[in-house]
Amino acid sequence: MDRRQVLAVGFLAAAARGAHAVSVAAEAAPQSRGFFAKDDERQLRQSVARWCLNAMTIEQVIDLAKSVRLDGIDLLDPADIQKVRAAKLACPVANGPTTIADGLNRLEHHDDILKRAEILFPQISAAGAPLVIVFAGNRRGLDDVKGLQNCVTGLKRLLPIAQKSNLGVVMELLNSRVDHKDHMGDHTDWGLQLCETVGDHRFGLLFDIYHMQIMEGDVIRSIQKAAPWILHYHTAGVPGRGPLDTQQELYYPAIMRAIVATGYRGFIGHEFMPSKDPKAELRAAIAACAGD
C-alpha cells in the first residue's frame, strides 16, 4: 500500500467528523470576547504573527496592532502573552514545546517534548492563550505513514497535559518545497488523517493558506474538506510570503468568504513579511480578510 492509499483510508469516516471535531477555539472564545465591544459583529477576528515583526519590540508590535485595530498577536511565549493581554489584545496561539525540525514524528523526541510541555502549558494557560502550536518535524528518511503513527503516539501523551491546563493543541502544516525542505506535515490529507486517528476535540489543524497554496493549490476546496478540524488560520502572499496585495496570486476576499461559510468564527493570523509600510500593509490585509 503506497502513501496515497494509506492516506485515503482515513477518509472513510469523513461523515463522522462534525460530531467529533468540537472547536477548541470556539470553547476558548469567551475569554477573548471580553476584549471586544458587545456590538462588534465582525465575522472574523484578525491577528499578526509576532515573528514577522522581529525588528520591533513587543511593545512596538502591540502599539502597531492596536493602531490598525487588530484583535491579537500570534506565536508568543508566556511573558509576552501577559503583555499582550494587559494591552487588551488576545494571543490566539502560543509557541509550543516542539521545533519545526524536531517534532512529534520521532519517538525519541517525545520524552523531551513532554517535559517541556509540563512546564510550558500551565504558564501559557495562566497567561491567557487558548491554543499551543506543535509541528510534525522533518522526515530525515522517515516514512510518512510511520511518522504519522509516531505523531499519534506523541499527541495521545501530550493532550492529557494540555487538558490539565485547559488548552487546545494545533499542528501547523508547512510547505516542503520552498521554506521547510524535508518537513513531514506538508499536505492537508496527511493532517486530516492525523486528526481522524487522534480523534480528540482538543487537537486540530492550523491551516496556513500560504503553505498549502504552495504544496497543493485549490485552497478553498481544501478548506471546505478540512474545516471541522481547523482551529486557526494563517495568511501570506504567494509567492514570496509578502503582503496580501495585487502582486500575489491568492484572492483572499473569496477565501475568507469560503471560511465564513464553513461556520468558522475564530482568528485569522497574518504571517506575511512586511515589505515597505507594515501599518498600511496590515490595514490592507485586514480589509481583504474581513470575511464579508
Q: Is residue 198 part of a domain?
A: yes
pLDDT above 70 covers a percentage of the chain that reads 86
Say which DSSP state 184 is in.
Answer: S
Chain segment 166-197, per-residue pLDDT in tens: 999 999 999 999 999 999 999 999 999 999 99
Q: Is residue 178 part of a domain?
A: yes
Q: What is the spatial distance between Cα 184 and Cα 148, in angstroms, rounded to a whole number? A: 9
Q: Is residue 6 part of a domain?
A: no
The whole-chain average pLDDT of the chain stands at: 89
8 Cβ contact list (under 8 Å, min separation 6): none
Q: Is residue 166 part of a domain?
A: yes
Q: Where residue 32 falls among pLDDT bands split at 50, 70, 90?
A: very low
Q: Is residue 35 part of a domain?
A: no
**Phi and psi at residue 136, to the nearest 5°:** -70, -45
* Biggest alpha carbon–alpha carbon distance for the chain: 54
Q: Which set of grid coordinates corresponds to residue 11?
A: 477518509
DSSP 203-233: EEEEEEHHHHHHHT--HHHHHHHHGGGEEEE
Q: Is residue 64 part of a domain?
A: yes
SS3 label, residue 36: coil
**DSSP β-bridge partners for residue 235:** 270
Residue 105 sits in a domain of what CATH number? 3.20.20.150
The per-residue pLDDT for 41 is 64
Q: Where residue 21 falls among pLDDT bands split at 50, 70, 90?
A: very low
**DSSP β-bridge partners for residue 270:** 48, 235
Helix (H) or strand (E) holding 235: strand 230-235
Q: Is residue 49 part of a domain?
A: yes
Instruction: Give the count of domains, the chain.
Output: 1
SS3 label, residue 234: strand
Q: Is residue 2 part of a domain?
A: no
Q: Which set of grid coordinates corresponds to residue 80?
A: 509576552
pLDDT above 90 covers a percentage of the chain that reads 85
pLDDT higher than 80, residue 199:
yes
Q: How far apart are the first and last CA of the chain?
A: 44
pLDDT higher than 50, residue 260:
yes
Of 27-36, 56-65, 66-75, 147-156, the poorest mean pLDDT is in 27-36
- What number of other Cβ atoms are within 10 A of residue 112's Cβ? 12
Host domain of residue 111:
42-288
Chain segment 201-249, per-residue pLDDT in tens: 999 999 999 999 999 999 999 999 999 999 999 999 999 999 999 999 9
The per-residue pLDDT for 16 is 37
The per-residue pLDDT for 29 is 39
pLDDT higher than 60, residue 7:
no
